[in-house]
Amino acid sequence: MISAVQTDPIVAVSTPSGMGGIAVVRLSGKGADRVIGKCWKGVSLDGIASHSAHLGKVLLEDGSVLDEVVLTFFKGPRSFTGEDVFEISCHGSRWIQRELVNLLVRHGARAAAPGEFTQRAFMNGRMDLAQAEGVIDLISASSKASHRMAMRQANGRFTVYLDNLRDRLIEFASLLELELDFSEEEVEFADRKRLRDLADELLGVLRRLAASYSTGKSLKDGVPVVIAGAPNAGKSTLLNQLLEEEKAIVSDVPGTTRDIIEDTCEVNGILFRFIDTAGLRDTADIVERIGIERAEDRLSRASIILWLLDTTGDTDNQLKEILNRVGELPDASHLLVCNKVDLANNCESEKYSPAEAGQGESLCGAAAESLFGKETAHLFDACMSISASEGYGIDELKGIMTSLACKEYNPDTDIILTNGRHYAAILRGAEALSRARAALDTGLSADFIAQDVRETLHHLATLTGTISTPDLLASIFSRFCIGK
Ligand code: GDP
């Protein structure tokens, strides 16, 4: 564990490992100028202006040139770490990067531990803990939506939101404390109705925040979309079409896909995790049976399920099978996707073709109701027809999936929890506040209620690091890579 008071100069390569055109070596801490000064040939570092960049050379001890570099200086506290920081942009050779770090270590710097730059930023008040965790997410963001969520957290928007919530809770606590001050006189100072309303409102905010976690986690790791349906319905063809590559084997032989095949792909700025499953059917084949069990498991964890109906097959039976399962999976969004409508000459699939439905590519509304019956159509979030092999209707399907992924929380505008630690703290805060809320009804004395409100405030304070323990800090910052 890195001690809270360390200010010694630390150094690390801050760009990813591997070779690029240039690499950045970062040096931060008290006396960083002395360390770099021992090997720098260029403009004098005495009184060098903050946020300035200088071309120069780094010399080895024998006077030979290690590299020509650009040195950028950030004077503390207006720097990432809050300390004096030098960023040395050198050529990207791995050898140069390693030699440069070793040279600076020989001149008195210490090799930085994982996350130590960001930990110093936190210790020096440049960012709070939630912001630091936003930086971790920003580094690993793999889609536009996860980038936006991380950026908002790193910029402190989440912190401002929490501060606002905290102020409201303090207002609530002070109303209670007032009542406590007057308890000797048995006066109910705070208007209990006002307290109840405030508690309800704040509880609503905390619960909504906690509920956003499943969306946040999905958007960060990839929204799980399971493709399910009878063997030969076209699931593998659809997976390939969505991923725009030949990931799964397509064949006419039912039971070809016997295990889970999955991959992620960004669609309209959102990362989706598409999962092709073994066709759901009764089988004596042990391997296929295991695949079907895995498919059931994935179904139970899906955010969106694409129920593929082979319109050239026995649609009544397929639909019956699908309907049996839809009711068992209440947490997912369900799409009924009628496939193979390119075979519209085939009498069975003709009625599913969009022309027949008269609704463009989507079979929504009246068209779906007339095909499947009102009750059945309403069990699905959308019904649509596609041709997986011809790519027909795929863009519309992607559009529907995108809006379903963000139907409750918009990554552009809403505060969405993406971090398990934040989720746990918000849940505990909400639990304590709901105890306070219940106590208001049972008429418990104000000091008991105030205790629960204080507990809620405590849990919120752990989010931004106002309250933290060395163990917590160690576990958060060790998740960073070296150089961050
Ligand atoms: P899975 O068992 O559900 O994964 O089905 P596959 O993707 O392996 O497809 C089974 C068969 O249906 C293959 O011969 C595919 O080429 C064919 N197929 C899939 N989608 C379509 C489609 O939209 N139109 C037509 N005409 N054939 C399709």
Distance 237 CA to ligand 1 centre (A): 6
Residue 303 domain-assigned (yes or no):
yes
Nearest CA to ligand 1 atom 2: 232
- Parallel, antiparallel or unpaired: strands 382-385 and 333-339: parallel
- Ligand 1 centroid–CA 310 distance in Å is 9
Q: Which residue has the tokens 């650009």?
A: 70
Question: 152 and 119, same structural domain?
Answer: no
Residue 267: inside a domain: yes
Residues 234 and 330 reside in one and the same domain? yes
Q: Which residue has the higher pLDDT, 138 or 23?
A: 23
Is residue 392 predicted with pLDDT exceeding 80?
A: yes
Task: Look at residue 131 in the predicted model and tell me its pLDDT.
Answer: 84
User: Is the beta carbon of 343 within 6 A of some atom in ligand 1?
Assistant: yes
CATH of the domain at 246: 3.40.50.300
CATH number at residue 201: 1.20.120.430
What residue's CA is closest to ligand 1, atom 26?
340
Structural domain of 113: 10-127
pLDDT in tens, 153-186: 888 888 888 888 888 888 877 777 766 665 555 5
Nearest to residue 483, comparing CAs of 164, 87, 61, 65?
A: 87
Question: Three-class SS of residue 433?
Answer: helix
**Averaged pLDDT score across all residues of the chain:** 83
- For ligand 1, is residue 241 a contact (CB within 6 Å)? no
Residue nearest atom 24 in ligand 1 by C-alpha distance: 340
Shared-domain flag, residues 65 and 205: no
Type of residue numbered 337: V
pTM above 0.75, yes or no: no
Give me the mean pLDDT over the 57-61 stretch: 96
Q: The domain that contains 89 carries what CATH number? A: 3.30.1360.120
- Give the nearest ligand 1 atom to 240 CA: 7
Q: How many domains does the chain have?
A: 3
CA distance 197 to 249: 58
Residue of minimum CA distance from atom 10 in ligand 1: 232
Spatial contact of 124 and 85, defined as CB atoms under 8 Å apart:
no
Measured from the CB, is residue 258 less than 6 Å from ligand 1?
Answer: no
CB 79 within 8 A of CB 118: no
**pLDDT (0 to 100) of residue 429:** 93
Please report, in angstroms and rounded to a whole number, the separation of the first and last CA atoms in the chain. 16
58 CA → ligand 1 middle, Å: 62
In this predicted structure, what is the pLDDT of residue 282? 63
On whether both 307 and 399 belong to a single domain, the answer is yes
Residue ending a domain, among 127, 152, 173, is: 127
329 & 201 share domain: no
Nearest CA-CA partner of 343 in 253, 231, 250, 234 = 234
From the CB of 257, is ligand 1 less than 6 Å away?
yes
Same-domain pairing of 158 and 102 = no
Indicate if 211 and 237 belong to the same structural domain. Answer: no
Task: Tell me what pLDDT residue 346 has.
Answer: 54
Structural domain ending residue among the three candidates 75, 95, 127: 127
Residue that is last in its domain, among 77, 102, 127: 127
Structure tokens at 309: 């109906």
Q: What is the pLDDT of residue 194?
A: 78
Q: Which of 243, 246, 250 to mutate to test ligand 1, by most ligand atoms within 8 A of the CB atom?
A: 250
On whether both 370 and 435 belong to a single domain, the answer is: no
- Please tell me the predicted confidence (pLDDT) of residue 3: 46
Distance 232 CA to ligand 1 centre (A): 6
